[in-house]
Amino acid sequence: MTARLRFFTLLCVLSLPILAAAQGVTTAPIDQALGRSGQKTGDVYRVSFPRTDLHVSVNGLAIKPGLALGSWAAFLGTDDNAMVMGDLVLLEEELNPVMAKLRSYHFDITAVHNHLTQETPKVLYVHYMGHGSAKQLATSLRTALEVSKTPLEKPAAAAEEPAPPAWVKTVEDAVGRKGTFKGGVLSYGVPRSDAVTMAGMTIPPAAGVGEAINFQAADSGNVATTGDFVLTAGEVNEVLSELQGRNILVTALHSHMLTEQPRLFFMHFWSVGSPESVGAGIKAALSKVQTK
């Protein structure tokens, strides 16, 4: 073996741990523990648990699961040293039993609050974080979700999405960005331009620190919008004033995490109106946020 070949072989061997770490967690054990698969975005593996069992309405408008009823878990790190963080959609009677089960597995509860107002039945949102092996975190999370009525069976294969209705393009034109249309919901995930860190780790937008904005059809050609703006302290009141000035109601303002840098605030909102006016209001609010 030549000296050059020996050097190349040694370089490849030494690079293997680095490449493994860069690829993030192995997804198969997580899928096995949770009974479903997710979506990999960079180093983040995100698994969703839509509350398709719930029939929630706001002032008579039935809320699609993808609009505001999606529990999720985002895994990052390595197989043996992983972090999971996410958000669970729960009924009031499910709240404390699920939290107790999470705490029994040493998960941190980082927030409990509303996202909507005037919804029927009332739903609450629990934000959580856990550290450990990726497979054990997934197993523990599954056990905690079993305390609720969250559907845990493997989802049926997704049907082919129909062509987006006309309101989708109208909203996209008004917002000035292309979104993703799935399950009757137009979704945006807009990353912040500044890095968010926690305990020395950079938290990617896919782990819940990007602007999340959703739209669905409403009556009389209108659309409904909800989601959350992820804001630094200096952005909070500028965005709040912009939303209220555009007839978009602010429904909640709170934290989702405990030790992130910079300190972030999550502003939830609700509006029903024409695709043009609602989209323009969201665009105006986004202009006050440091996004990519």
Residue 5 pLDDT: 39
Compute, in degrees rounded to 10, the torsion defined by CA atoms 83, 86, 91, 92: 70
Residue 17 pLDDT: 38
What is d(CA 176, CA 173) in angstroms, rounded to the nearest whole number? 5
Residue 6 pLDDT: 43
Residue 23 pLDDT: 64
Residue spans of the chain under pLDDT 50? 3-22
- Measured CA distances, 158 to 120, 167, 184, 230 (Å): 28, 22, 13, 30
What is d(CA 146, CA 101) in angstroms, rounded to the nearest whole number? 10
Residue 126 pLDDT: 98
- Measured CA distances, 270 to 6, 267, 283 (Å): 62, 10, 15
Q: At which residue do the structure tokens 């029939």 appear? A: 55
Residue 21 pLDDT: 41
What is d(CA 77, CA 75) in angstroms, rounded to the nearest whole number? 7
SS3 at position 102:
helix
Residue 84 pLDDT: 98
Which domains, ranges and CATH numbers included, belong to the chain?
Answer: 24-155 (3.30.70), 162-292 (3.30.70)
Structure letter (DSSP) for residue 64: P
| CA 77 to chain CA mean position, Å | 18
pTM above 0.75, yes or no: yes
